[in-house]
Amino acid sequence: MHITHLSLTNFRNYGRLELALPQGPILLYGNNAQGKTNLLEAIYYLATTRSPHADNDAQLINWDAAQSEEPVVVGRLVANIATAQQTHQLEMRLIQEQKPTIARNRNFSFRRQALLDRRKVRLMDLLGAMRVVLFLPEDIQLLTGSPANRRRYMDITLCQIDPVYCRTLSNYNKVLEQRNAVLRQIAEEQTGRDVLPIFTEKLITLGSTVFLRRAKFLADLSRETQRIHYETLTEGRESIRLVYLPRLHVKRSKISPGSDPKPTELGDWLETHQGQSEIVTDRFAKLLQESLSTDIARGATTIGPHRDDWSFQLNGRSLGSFGSRGQQRTAILALKMGEINWMTNLTGERPILLLDEVVAELDEQRRTALLSSITETTQAILTATDPGMFTDTFLQQATRMEVENGRVNVM
Ligand SMILES: Nc1ncnc2c1ncn2[C@@H]1O[C@H](COP(=O)(O)OP(=O)(O)OP(=O)(O)O)[C@@H](O)[C@H]1O
Ligand SMILES: [Mg+2]
């Protein structure tokens, strides 16, 4: 699939942008702080309803527009896309809520409105219409950062493909909040334990689906990543795995002493029970029961997919803790290339690639591997301050666009 046209209004340093985009590789180049990353962010935001950089939507709105005397400031992002069979239009509006009377021009909040083919839809319904793979230099944090980073990656990636997962996860998070509120009320003796089972049962059903779908996702993605890493990037020298670490265990559990799978084996355990969700719900239920007094004391549910993690492993060791910087970079590159194949296998269509300044960080061999996979995709948008780092062959194939202070000039 590819974007045929992108239109931005009041988004970051783009006051107004109308841009036709061709198929094939597109190289966005220009000096620092001109709007290259902002353009990729806009596309990613439309595809996933999340920003990789901003903490809140207000940051996305053009500063000048936000300061203006307009009664209501609206940010607008529109992408027209074409797949092999059809075309779609995705739109996101960021509409300023009533201006605050005190502290004018500060702390505005924005309401989001999503449109698919000009019809209002839930934000969630936008997901999957335009599929992207984003590759940023800071993706190395998937190895070295917190579990929250890794869960976020898993959720955003899987939500682009699996609407059931996305809905289930959103419901799970709501029920989790409700259950935690009840746990706190029990601790403060404001309510009895009899209300808890309603929430616990819902949590178990929803949570088990999340566990199972994540296990399948990571197993499939691991196969693709491992193959690329082994065959293309390390010439058969190293073999990595993505290992799912679901929070479906407690220390010294009484469930089945002796035969209980180790935390690192739980992903495989879930894989072998794909069609038997009752075995998973049963385990989850027992563990919640075992940790009930801890959970009441803490006022929070300590077992469940909201505490999941996953890791890259090389010969049974975590690459995040033990890998060299170069090994870590190679693993991330393999993951991203694996993600492209994983999406293509599932949808029959290649996702749009968004690569922000990553080519500069790669050595010759890895750069060649990445660029050759790019030339196979339908559309890839790359940014660079210096087009000189690309090979002549690549530059001949790519459409070059210069980004200058919120404007894009096609060369
Ligand atoms: N809400 C906003 N309104 C207006 N300008 C903004 C807003 N948010 C960020 N900017 C500005 O947009 C400019 C371009 O940022 P961007 O990150 O896209 O640059 P870039 O071309 O990727 O540069 P680099 O090569 O340094 O990565 C920056 O100067 C930034 O301060
Ligand atoms: Mg940038």
Residue nearest to atom 13 of ligand 1 (CA): 33
DSSP labels, 231-289: IIISTTS--EEEEEE-S---TT-SSSTTTPPPGGGHHHHHHHTTT-HHHHHHHHHHHHH
Helical residues (DSSP H) of 32-83, grouped into ranges: 36-48, 63-67
Would you call 386 helix, strand, or coil by DSSP? Answer: coil
In tens, the pLDDT along 294-320 reads: 999 999 999 999 999 999 999 889 999
Q: Closest ligand to 63 CA?
A: 1
Q: Closest ligand to 14 CA?
A: 1
In tens, the pLDDT along 60-79 reads: 999 999 888 888 899 999 99
Please tell me if the CB atom of residue 360 comes closer than 6 angstroms to any atom of ligand 1: no
Q: Work out whether strand 399-404 and strand 407-410 pair parallel, antiparallel, or are unpaired.
A: antiparallel
Spacing, Cα 406 to ligand 1 middle (Å): 9
Domain ranges of the chain: 2-131+349-410, 140-321
pLDDT band at 100 (very low <50, low <70, confident <90, very high): low
pLDDT of residue 276 exceeding 80: yes
- Closest listed residue to residue 310, CA positions, set 322, 302, 319: 319
pLDDT at 136: 95
pLDDT of residue 173 exceeding 90: yes
pLDDT at 315: 84
pLDDT of residue 85 exceeding 70: yes
In tens, the pLDDT along 111-151 reads: 999 999 999 999 999 999 999 999 999 999 999 999 999 99
pLDDT at 106: 56
User: Residue 118 is which amino acid?
Assistant: R
Length of the chain: 411
Spacing, Cα 288 to ligand 2 middle (Å): 45
pLDDT at 124: 93
CA distance 156 to 6: 22
Spacing, Cα 28 to ligand 1 middle (Å): 14
pLDDT at 48: 97
- The class that CATH gives domain 2-131+349-410 is alpha beta
pLDDT of residue 393 exceeding 90: no
Q: What ligand 1 atom has the least distance to the C-alpha of 385?
A: 25
pLDDT at 361: 82
**Fold of the 140-321 domain:** Glutathione S-transferase Yfyf (Class Pi); Chain A, domain 2 (1.20.1050)
Spacing, Cα 322 to ligand 2 middle (Å): 29
Spacing, Cα 407 to ligand 2 middle (Å): 15
pTM above 0.75, yes or no: yes
CB 110 within 8 A of CB 57: yes
Q: Closest ligand to 28 CA?
A: 1
Spacing, Cα 333 to ligand 1 middle (Å): 25
pLDDT of residue 253 exceeding 90: no
pLDDT at 251: 82
pLDDT at 145: 95
Q: What is the mean pLDDT of residues 25-44?
A: 98
pLDDT-above-90 percentage for the chain = 82
Please tell me if the CB atom of residue 66 comes closer than 6 angstroms to any atom of ligand 1: no
Please tell me if the CB atom of residue 10 comes closer than 6 angstroms to any atom of ligand 1: no
Residue nearest to atom 5 of ligand 1 (CA): 13
pLDDT of residue 364 exceeding 80: yes
pLDDT of residue 105 exceeding 70: no
Q: What is the mean pLDDT of residues 161-177?
A: 97
Which residue among 11, 14, 31, 37 has the greatest number of ligand 1 atoms within 8 angstroms of its CB, and so is best to mutate?
37
In tens, the pLDDT along 195-227 reads: 999 999 999 999 999 999 999 999 999 999 999
pLDDT of residue 279 exceeding 80: yes
